[in-house]
Amino acid sequence: MVFGQVVVGPPGSGKTTYCNGMSQFLSLIGRKVAVINLDPANDSLPYECAVNIEDLVKLSDVMVEHSLGPNGGLVYCMDYLEKNIDWLEAKLEPLLKDHYLLFDFPGQVELFFLHSSAKNVILKLIKKLNLRLTAVHLIDAHLCSDPGKYISALILSLSTMLHLELPHINVLSKIDLIESYGKLAFNLDFYTDVQDLSYLQHHLDQDPRSAKYRKLTKELCDIIENFSLVSFSTLDIQVHQVCPGFSSVCQMFGILSWSFFFQDKESVGNLVKLIDKSNGYIFVGMEASAVEFSKIAVGPVNWDYYRYPFFSFSCV
């Protein structure tokens, strides 16, 4: 049984940065991680990927050969990957024994709430390779500063959850920059817990463009609240390389991965806890009754990232 994450979200939400930071974090806590780049438009990778879709199909070649734009080209690439799923399965086979998988998908949102090719790729991999995957949907936190954009993000998150049909965690990324585009109208809990959306109506009415669509906005908010599925975790996963002196000490002890530290270790650790619960990783190796498993599932995960001393290290 192999565990992993399907990382999705709009362009600029931080998916590649997330995969880079999460792979470093998981490596530091002892997991062997493989990152799979399935974004044919991502030609500047900060991480070393175990599998790269560009070995199968390149977006630039598709756009030239078929006279397609970037969006049409990405749809074509996902369709091509689905038809050549055997290629991806063969690439993943050597990683199944001992790796935790991170799938870095394109940022075209239509692929995850409208088109079926990306979903079919994921479901085929789950069925054929016995994967346990959680969808991690990243949303740029600064959207909370604009009520209209925040509601759009909620609709996108809900649509993606219903379309992918996977264990799903929505994440407000770049949480450290949340007020860089304007002050929030409410406390952060209002946005993460998706509380009474009627309170946003007053702020939307201040904008003549939004007031024109008041009835439509109310109906969309009602849909979100009636499903009652969307909530957000917060994340700041900036990864920094520590000073050369500390890296040298790490290498002396054979700790080659300890050359990084995280901006906000608590947000990363809490997110890993949620993901481990959602895909069942926390139950690996446990022998317990159904009742005990249920208690673990509904209770907090007692996984203490503070016991790793390198998370509190910083360079001056």
pLDDT tens-digit map of 56-78: 999 999 999 999 999 999 999 99
The backbone torsions φ and ψ at residue 93, rounded to the nearest 5 degrees and listed phi first, read: -50, -45
Report how many domains make up the chain. 1
Angstrom distance (rounded) from CA 113 to CA 119 = 9
Specify whether the CB–CB gap between 240 and 174 falls below 8 A. no
CATH value at residue 88: 3.40.50.300
What are the residues whose beta carbons fall under 8 Å from the beta carbon of 143, sequence distance 6 or more? 149, 150, 152, 153
Collect the ranges in the chain with pLDDT lower than 70. 238-264, 285-316
Dihedral (Cα; 205, 207, 209, 213), 10-degree rounding: -10
Is residue 159 packed enough to be buried (19+ CB in 10 Å), middle (13-18) or exposed (0-12)?
A: middle
The per-residue pLDDT for 284 is: 76
Given this model, what pLDDT does residue 256 score? 44
Give the residue numbers spanning the domain of 60.
Answer: 2-314
How many CB atoms within 10 Å of residue 43? 11
> For residue 3, what are the β-bridge partners?
132
Q: What is the pLDDT of residue 306?
A: 42
**What is the per-residue DSSP string for the chain?**
-EEEEEEE-STTS-HHHHHHHHHHHHHHTT--EEEEE--TT----SS--SEEGGGT--HHHHHHHHT--HHHHHHHHHHHHHHTHHHHHHHHGGGTTT-EEEEE--S-THHHHT-SHHHHHHHHHHHHHTEEEEEEEEEEGGGGGSHHHHHHHHHHHHHHHHHH-S-EEEEEE-GGGTTTTS--SS-HHHHHTT--TTHHHHHHHTSHHHHTTHHHHHHHHHHHHHHT---EEE----EEEPPHHHHHHHHHTT-TTTTEEES-HHHHHHHHHHHHHHHTGGGTT----HHHHHHHHHSPP---GGG-GGGG----
Burial class, 133, CB count within 10 angstroms (exposed 0-12 / middle 13-18 / buried 19+):
buried
* pLDDT at site 289: 58
